[in-house]
Structure 1
């Protein structure tokens, strides 16, 4: 039987509903879209009708660490707690995956295992866990710590955290719950496993007090691009959310992570790489560029310089805006990947701090701008040249930006055979073509 042609996997990045700082001010947009359940329900249902793989909700554990004059202009200052929102969305959708971020730095494995197992049951097998180590140092102050955990220590903790959570999901065999009314036996005790984990970071007895999730394990998503992040992804992740700037950089990242997957004893297809990409659909390339220019013009300078400071992990608001970025900025525990990207851009293009701020003030990542056919050409090239397995779609403004993708771009991708016409399964694992993991403690028929 010949191999089926590769198709794109598409997830929707929905927290905040747009990453662009000016999105809430765009004409005819919903300024309250990030915290309005009626609007978010509409978005989720539109995405499901377009056959998206998943609705992906990122999370922040602190208000962004930027000056108040910038913060007051940000639509990211409030958002729903992910599990509350996705649990609610599970009742108004039936097929689209529901992915949530949960920190391994400022949470506990038992809590995370219960929440995701519950969401997987509520949604009939549509949950995904985005493993993050929390890059924002301000988060530490909300959990009783004076200092943010060092980068390497966060990833060491995350690896053990993953082992515990997945072990807890395997606490019961799939057929443990007999619910035999006649005999009075609700479950078979020999099909319950107590984890008894003792490691460098955690001591967790178990078992988890919830049945094994419908997917076996919810899908594992990972978002780090650092050396430690790539290795964690290769060993644990099934979907990688990343931020390459162009197709050439993406091909290098793709080959590196896929190579690590094989060295870790897994198959290349066991992990899907989905770069974030803002998509602006227009009647033409020029029309889409006009939309981008208007969107960028809505970002206040106070916000742009603050966004640059967040990306660097250092407040550069007091430096000469028309001078170069200093080479001797102090080291921090913030995200190394974002900081290195800023420094590379500044060096490559000789940008001043003001120019860097303008770039980072709205959205500085990968973007596809153009007609539906033009954007489809670009996406097809990324898939064909093994730069990605699909994309994590960032919408420029809501609702128009999302609806232009679902109503114009998706039909073009479907016409070319690059995206599904309909769901062929009901679980998120089935959408991604991922196998259901075996229970590590109970083999089939045991």
Structure 2
């Protein structure tokens, strides 16, 4: 019996996702806006047969506490995802190209058009990460004082996805015939305008580009709330999983896949990728030494600021070596539910502010070990039904990426848990996802 093949995606951030990575000697200054750096990284991932190169994004930059945020440049500087992925598409052949675009601040037509264009340019490798945005910096860039309530954002996201998919079905697959002799470029009967009158969007029109190679670019989603899971069960094809332990991850996996039948979907049409962060060394001690060195590059006030952001609370005034008072936990989250719950649990355990700040990593399981130990864990996780693969926020470049490609992946391939070549031409084919039929042609 063949083993389930592990799906791998890289969560890209120039220099790496560890808060101290940009200060390491090998880190390239200016990598955030160097497209050649992005391309080199994507090509290296392709050598490792990664399924997806993914750029997370927020349409904003922080505008306060800059004396602290300067110590960790994530989301303060970087290329707009669709622009960057389009450039990468012309230098790669197989790897999927995913980017974030917010349903709270971008119109469905623009989302549909840009991702359809990327799908054409990449010959079928585009993926849209559906987010509602989770910070008020973004809200203020678009004329609001703060984000709308969580439930309202998810209602708008659900409607937005429906409208985007309608645009992607504007043209049937064989609508463009290019009949020169009879002066017929397209068959007018195979054009279907979008006529939508909803709570958040009122549109009448169509997409001015032929149906793309995948029919619909792959849809990614990351919600962990009930509203987020329902949206994912109805619309998503890749979901970023949650749960730092196996029991919690399996519960999330079973819950989300179990919801899909309510929307007439098969559970094999969704891949859940768990966040996983590993520092890899030749020995256990080597891995621990690497990790502690990177940790030494992170000022403590920066780590506390990340807690403030994800807990949506003020903590900078508290003593570092005492437990965080329970009354600092807000009654609910309006931003990232999973991160909010993670920090709340650590506070309720009675840990000090320093302990929480220095160990907290956003929703990801952190491991330090050898390549074999990492491969063992990844196999066990997938075989136990905790996920279909992993979203890897590489801690640093090129070191962490090279460790995966040169050390971990060969072990998984030898065991039959990871592919030895790409199986298809499109991202859908490589993930085993069906190509959606055009709703009008199918009828």
* Bin for the TM-score computed over the shorter chain: over 0.9
Counterpart Cα distance in 1 of 2:402 and 2:136: 35
**Alignment coverage as a number of residue pairs:** 440
2:24 maps to what in 1? Answer: 26
Aligned residues: CA RMSD: 1.6
Moved more, 100-109 or 258-267: 258-267
Counterpart Cα distance in 2 of 1:160 and 1:16: 33
2:55 maps to what in 1? Answer: 57
Q: How far is 1:417 from its partner?
A: 0.8
Please, what TM-score do these two structures have when normalized by structure 2? 0.96
- Is the CA contact (8 Å cut-off) linking 1:15 and 1:59 kept in structure 2? no
1:70 maps to what in 2? Answer: 68
Q: Residues 389, 140 of structure 1: CA spacing in aligned structure 2 closer, same or farther, 3 A cutoff? A: same
- Is the CA contact (8 Å cut-off) linking 1:137 and 1:333 kept in structure 2? no
5+ long unaligned stretches in structure 1: none
Q: How far is 1:65 from its partner?
A: 6.4
2:345 maps to what in 1? Answer: 344
Matched, 1:149 2:148: yes
5+ long unaligned stretches in structure 2: none
- Is the CA contact (8 Å cut-off) linking 1:225 and 1:337 kept in structure 2? yes
1:380 maps to what in 2? Answer: 379
2:394 maps to what in 1? Answer: 395
- Is the CA contact (8 Å cut-off) linking 1:273 and 1:388 kept in structure 2? yes
Q: How far is 1:177 from its partner?
A: 0.4
Q: How far is 1:334 from its partner?
A: 2.1
Give the SS at the match of 1:255: helix
What does residue range 27-106 of structure 1 map to in structure 2 within 5 Å? 27-64=25-62, 67-76=65-74, 77-106=76-105
Moved more, 242-251 or 394-403: 242-251
Q: How far is 1:363 from its partner?
A: 6.2
Q: Residues 225, 288 of structure 1: CA spacing in aligned structure 2 closer, same or farther, 3 A cutoff? A: same
Counterpart Cα distance in 1 of 2:442 and 2:348: 55
2:201 maps to what in 1? Answer: 202
2:335 maps to what in 1? Answer: 334
Q: How far is 1:364 from its partner?
A: 6.7
Q: Residues 4, 169 of structure 1: CA spacing in aligned structure 2 closer, same or farther, 3 A cutoff? A: farther
Give the SS at the match of 1:314: coil
Counterpart Cα distance in 2 of 1:357 and 1:44: 31
2:355 maps to what in 1? Answer: 355
Counterpart Cα distance in 1 of 2:243 and 2:296: 24
Q: Residues 426, 152 of structure 1: CA spacing in aligned structure 2 closer, same or farther, 3 A cutoff? A: same
Counterpart Cα distance in 2 of 1:139 and 1:326: 29
Counterpart Cα distance in 1 of 2:253 and 2:435: 24
- Is the CA contact (8 Å cut-off) linking 1:226 and 1:336 kept in structure 2? yes
Q: How far is 1:242 from its partner?
A: 2.7
Q: How far is 1:28 from its partner?
A: 2.0
- Is the CA contact (8 Å cut-off) linking 2:241 and 2:249 kept in structure 1? no
- Is the CA contact (8 Å cut-off) linking 2:136 and 2:145 kept in structure 1? no
Counterpart Cα distance in 2 of 1:150 and 1:323: 33
Counterpart Cα distance in 1 of 2:21 and 2:286: 17
What does residue range 106-121 of structure 1 map to in structure 2 within 5 Å? 106-121=105-120
Deviations 1:41-96 (A, max 9, x none): 11100101111001011101122466222111112110110001000000100110
- Is the CA contact (8 Å cut-off) linking 2:112 and 2:168 kept in structure 1? yes
2:403 maps to what in 1? Answer: 404
Give the SS at the match of 1:429: helix
Give the SS at the match of 2:425: coil
Please, what TM-score do these two structures have when normalized by structure 1? 0.95
Q: How far is 1:287 from its partner?
A: 1.4
What does residue range 244-323 of structure 1 map to in structure 2 within 5 Å? 244-323=243-322
Give the SS at the match of 2:442: coil
Counterpart Cα distance in 2 of 1:303 and 1:240: 29
